[in-house]
Amino acid sequence: MASVRQLNPKAEVLGRGAACFMNVNAAKGLYDVMKTNLGPKGTIKMLVGGAGDIKLTKDGNVLLREMQITNPTAVMIARTAVAQDEVTGDGTTTMVILIGELMKQAERYIADGLHPRIIAEGYEIAKKDLLEFLDGFKEAIDPSDRETLRCVARTALRTKLREGLADQLTDIVVDAVMTINKADQPLDLYMVEIMHMRHKLDTDTRLIRGLVLDHGSRHPDMPKRLENCHVLNCNISLEYEKSEVNAGFFYSSAEQREKLVAAERAVVDDKVQRIIDLKKQVCADGSSFAVINQKGIDPASLDLLAKEGILALRRAKRRNAERLQLATGGFTVNSVEELSAECLGHAGLVYEHVLGEDKFTFVEDVRHPHSCTILIKGPNDYTIAQIKDAVRDGLRAVKNTIEDAAVVPGAGAFEVAAAHHLRTVTVKKVEGRTKLGIEAFAEALLGLPKILAENSGYDPQDTIIALQDEAERGGCVGLDVSSGEPADPHLSGVLDNFIVKRQILQSAPIVASQLLLVDEVLRAGMNMRRQ
């Protein structure tokens, strides 16, 4: 510390004891904020913005992103947890709690004079052994088994939403992922469009095996509802465009100007006429026709299409064009020369829904849907935001299960089994004071089922003792949050993602060890207590 003072007299330095105290306190502070959110019985946080806007959430990722955290240690832990969400889609709260527990347990031993390096070595040995144990503890599943996917999705959603709504969204989320899932191809969750309408109740949220576009037709005479509809998905400009090169046109009379205008108009009219001719060709049997264009359609072209009974939408998003192609069939057309009956998709029903000043176009009853839309409804913005965050996590949970082809029993079952393994198997492989680091890790793991019990209104000590007694008898045992008794998580369908558990075990001990090994905190050049 003295050497730093010699280099820079204005440097602010925290010595070893103060640095460790700061890191442990920061981890415990974040831990205390997040622990009440864990599990299906966790409480909800209300975030209030500067403009008075409200957000209600239990999602650890949302909390960590939107809370104003200034402590550098807490910021580091929060970034680790947010990275966990970006990689796996879940596990942010668990990550913060496990890091906090590891720091709490280490503090006890450091206070008794044990060097942080010994604890860090114990954590590293425990981490390696637990990753091997997790590979043996996971259960292989059939990725096409719908009931298993429902269990995983329900477990993820119940930690974010009330039980009734979570159970309703479970089927929606599983059906959405199974709709877009193709054999031997990676899952692209962007093919599930998440659309929201501030309308009716949250229980009116539904899955649409098709597409919902957030705009409608731009002509009052166009049909509002079409059945047995051919859908043209195109990327053709149906409006006058200026030439790409800088060109000038000169005329000497009004007649020449009229000819010039007519020639410009004829180019666009010819494109529109080709679309109308295709419509007449394919709709001879009485079916209807819709055009969904990524580029613009000018009023004159809209009028021509409306006279033929064609529903036309302009400036559709490129992502929606991709989804439309997967949902209705056919392919995107980039020039009128490519127009043919083979390029058309098909939808049983296309209709427009007006909500206040907003228009929505629904494309439903498609033949081979490989894209779909989750239409979220709610009476207010914070309900919609809460559901939207939960749906994203649910989709990621189902995707992870399909890709891993494995699950891990939930309800604290893995943590209890892992702590038992550390205390009975791992600790016998090492000698000396490193055993204390392994013991601290085992105690930290038991902190998760303790918090689950506490949040559910049960005594954490009684619960942990009962869980440990059951674990010693063998078998898989977790906490039943409705009764507070040890139970087999398979019977209640509580299953977690394998990759989430693995990522937590890999990241949490590393962050905790790094924070424990900090012996000085330096802020050079500027005094924090500047007057």
List active site positions.
59, 92-93, 393
Q: In a 10 Å sphere around its CB, with 0-12 CB exposed, 13-18 middle and 19+ buried, how is residue 69 labelled?
A: buried
d(CA 90, CA 92): 6
**Looking at residue 138, what DSSP letter applies?**
S
Is beta strand 521-523 parallel, antiparallel or unpaired with respect to 12-14? antiparallel
Please state whether 405 falls in left (phi above 0), alpha (psi between -120 and 50) or beta.
left
**Looking at residue 40, what DSSP letter applies?**
T
Strand pairing partners for 229?
A: 288, 347
d(CA 442, CA 421): 9
Residues with Cβ within 8 Å of 176's Cβ and at least 6 positions away in sequence, in order, are 192, 207, 372, 374, 395
Distance set, CA 428 to CA 102, 105, 195, 435 (Å): 21, 20, 55, 8
Burial of 45-66, coded b for 16+ CB within 10 Å and e otherwise, reads beeeeeeeeebebbbbbbbbee
d(CA 383, CA 178): 26
Torsions phi, psi of 449, nearest 5?
-65, -30
